[in-house]
Amino acid sequence: MARRLRMAAAAAAALTLGLAGCGSPSSNNDENKSDDTGKISTQTAAIDPDAKGPAPEVPGARKGGEITIYSQSTPNTIDPTDIYYVDANEIGKLLFRTATQFAIRDGKPVLVPDLTDVGTVSADKLSWTFKFKTGEKYEDGSEIKIEDLAYAIKRSFAHDIYANGPAYQLTYFKDGDKYKGPYTSGPNYSGVEVVGADTLKINLAKPFSDLPFYMTFPMFSPIPEAKDTKADYKNKPIASGPYKIASYTPGSELKLAKNDNWNAATDPVKHQYVDGWTFKWGGDDVKTQQQVLNSNGPDASALNYMDVDASLIPQLTSEKKAQFVQGESPCTYTWQIDTTQVPLEVRKAIAKAWPYDQTWKAGGVNDYVGQRATTFMPPSVPGYQKYTPVEDLDGEGTGDPAAAKKLLEAAGKVGFEVSWYYDNTKPVPQQVSAVREAALKEAGFTVKAIGVPTAELRTKISDYDAPVNIAQGPRGWCSDWPSGGSWIPVLFKSESIAAGTSMGELKDPALDAKIDEVANLPVEESTSKWAALDEEVMKQYAAIPYYYTKFGIVIGTNVGGAEADPTMGMPLFTNLFLKS
C-alpha cells in the first residue's frame, strides 16, 4: 500500500482519498519564486552511500525558540510501526532515526545512510545485508542495539495490532505470509537475522530492489523489546531522533523538546535548531492559515501544513507572497472505473463524456495546488515519462456527451448504470458529484449517485463488493519512495484487489508478469521502464486522471528554512528555524 495523504480542504472534500502518500522535489519560498505556478519538474532517483553526519547547515539558520504547527487534520498515531499518513511520518523524522533516510539536496531526495548503510544485495537478489551504526543512544541514554532494529521489523508483522502501517514486508519478506509478529509467532523469524554485532540480514521471498528506500519508513526505527507496551506504545514511543515527546494529548496537541542524547555528528540529515515544537490539531484550517499570515505574537513563529485554501491566494500573490512556500508532491488524484463491472467500450464512453473543466472548477482546484494529469505517475516521480495522452484522457475540456452517447449506441449500452459514493454533508463533493451526474446523464447513462456521511465514506469506497462501479478507493496515490516501484505494482497487479489498493480492479495475468519483470530489475534499470506500463494501463481506461498535486503552505514571518519535503509533500520540519 502507499502512504496516505494529508488533504487540502477543497480537494479532500471532493475526493476523500482512501490510501496515498507523498513526495518530490522543488520548493519556493521568500528566497525563491513564490509566485511560481509552473509545471512540475521531472526527477531522477539518487543514492549517496557515503553520506556522513553532521548534516550541512541550512543557510542563515540560528538556534532557539519554539515553533507552532497548525492543522485541522489529526494524525491517527505516532507509533512508528503504525505510521503511514504523511503528517505523522514527517513528525516521525523529528522523533526517530531509521535504517536509511532521505537527504534533500537542491529540492531532490537522495537516499543516504542513517542507522545502517544503504545495503548490499546478494547475487540471487534474495537477501540484503545492512551494516549497523553502533554507539547511538535513545532519549534515556540507553544504547540503540541492532537487536532493537530487528525486533521493530518483526513487530511490523503484527498487523492485527498495527493495521495502519505499511505492509510491503508481508509480501516481499521470506515467510512474510506466515509470520504474525513476535507476540503471536515468537521471536524467531526467518526473514530477519542479526549476524554478529553490526550486521542485519533481510531474507526475501522475491527480489525487492527498492528495499533500501523502504527502510526510510518509521517502522524501521529501533524499538527495545523490553519497552514495547504494544498498543499503548503509541502514547509515548521512545525517541532516537533530535526531539522527544514532552507531552501528548492524542487528537489535540503534541509538544516536543530537545533530545540531548541524539548525536548530530553521526546524522547526515537532521538538525536541532529550535528548542521545542507545539503541534495543535483540530482548528479550522482557513482560520489558522489566516492567523499565520497575520503573524501576530506567537503566530509569527507558526505554520499550517495543510494546502493553502483558495480564498487566501489573493493575499499570497501580493503583499504576503514571502509567506507562501511552494513545492512539489508526487501524488495523482484519479476517478477509477471498476473494469470487472464496466466493459471497455463503456469505459471509453465515460472518458468521452468526462467534464474535466467543470470538475476542476467545482472541486475548487487551482494552479497553485494542482496540475492537470494525463498519466498515473506524476512528473515528480523518477520513472515518469510524458507520453501522448490516451484518447479522451488528456485532462482538458468540457467533455462531449453527444459523442459519448454514440459510443454507447454502437455498443448497445445506452442506459448503462454508473454509480458512486459521495460525501453528502459538504458542499464541494456535492457540487462535484452533480457536475459528473449531469454530464453522464446527457451522454445516455443511468446514474446512481449515493450520498453518505463523511464518517462512512472512506469505508464505503474501500469496499470492492459495494454496489458501485466508479470512484472507489483509492481515489489517488502518492509515492512511498521516489520510484515507479511504489506505484505500478501496488495499483495494477491482480493481487492489489485483495490488498485493497487496486485502481480499476484489473485482473490481467499478462500485465502481472510484465510488472514483475520490471520490479525484479535493479533500481537503475527499472526506473525508465515504469512509464511504458503506465501507458499500457491507461489504455485500459482503468481510471480517469484528475490532477497531480502541488505543495503550497503558509508560514509565519519569523519562520526560516521552509521548504517542501519531496518525499512527503509536507514541510521539511528538520530544516526549520526561527529568524529571531
pLDDT in the model for residue 234: 96
Bridge partners of 420? 449
Say if strands 108-113 and 199-203 run parallel, antiparallel, or are unpaired. Answer: unpaired
Per-residue confidence in pLDDT tens, the chain, 580 aa: 344 454 443 333 334 333 333 332 223 333 333 334 455 655 555 899 999 999 999 999 999 999 999 998 888 899 999 998 889 999 999 999 999 999 999 888 999 999 999 999 999 999 999 999 999 999 999 999 999 999 999 999 999 999 888 888 998 999 999 999 999 999 999 999 999 999 999 999 999 989 999 999 999 999 999 999 999 999 999 999 999 999 999 989 999 999 999 999 999 999 999 999 999 999 989 999 999 999 999 999 999 999 888 889 999 988 899 999 998 787 899 999 999 999 999 999 999 999 999 999 998 888 888 899 999 999 888 889 999 999 999 999 999 999 999 999 999 999 999 999 999 988 889 999 999 999 999 999 999 999 999 878 878 998 999 999 999 989 988 888 888 988 999 899 998 998 788 999 999 999 999 999 998 888 788 888 999 999 999 999 999 999 998 899 999 999 999 999 988 889 999 999 999 9
pLDDT in the model for residue 426: 83
Instruction: Tell me the pTM.
Output: 0.83
pLDDT in the model for residue 10: 37
pLDDT in the model for residue 2: 42
pLDDT in the model for residue 556: 98
**CA nearest 452: which of 438, 472, 435?**
472
- With contact defined as beta carbons under 8 Å apart, do 521 and 209 qualify? yes
- With contact defined as beta carbons under 8 Å apart, do 537 and 506 qualify? yes
pLDDT in the model for residue 39: 59
HEC string for 169-223: HHHHECCCCCCCCHHHHCCCCCCEEEECCCEEEEEECCCCCCHHHHCCCHHHCCC
pLDDT in the model for residue 42: 56
- With contact defined as beta carbons under 8 Å apart, do 23 and 568 qualify? yes
pLDDT in the model for residue 40: 61
Chain-centre distance for alpha carbon 22: 3
**Looking up cell 492524542, which residue turns up?**
250
Joined together, the cell numbers standing for residue 38 give 509552473
DSSP 8-state secondary structure symbol assigned to residue 3? P
What whole-number distance in Å separates Cα of residue 561 and Cα of residue 574? 9
Which residues have CB under 8 Å from 424's CB, separation 6+? 430, 451, 452, 453
448-452's contacts with Cβ under 8 Å and 24+ in sequence apart are 448/417, 448/418, 448/419, 449/419, 449/420, 449/422, 450/419, 450/420, 450/421, 450/422, 451/421, 451/422, 451/423, 451/424, 452/421, 452/422, 452/423, 452/424
What is 328-549's CATH topology? Answer: Dipeptide-binding Protein; domain 3 (3.10.105)
What whole-number distance in Å separates Cα of residue 341 and Cα of residue 504? 10
Could you tell me the maximum CA-CA distance found in the chain, to the nearest angstrom?
Answer: 73
- Rg over CA atoms, the chain: 23
* Segments making up each domain of the chain, as ranges: 328-549
Bridge partners of 570? 565
Q: What is the dihedral of CA 54, 57, 63, 69, to 10 degrees?
A: -100
* Cα separations in angstroms, 264 against 268, 310, 567: 8, 39, 22
457-463's contacts with Cβ under 8 Å and 24+ in sequence apart are 457/16, 457/421, 457/422, 457/423, 458/16, 458/18, 460/421, 461/16, 461/18, 461/421, 462/18, 462/500
Joined together, the cell numbers standing for residue 535 give 501507458
* Cα separations in angstroms, 339 against 275, 406, 537, 547: 53, 21, 11, 21
* Cα separations in angstroms, 238 against 250, 315, 377: 16, 42, 36
pLDDT in the model for residue 442: 98
pLDDT in the model for residue 45: 59
pLDDT in the model for residue 41: 57
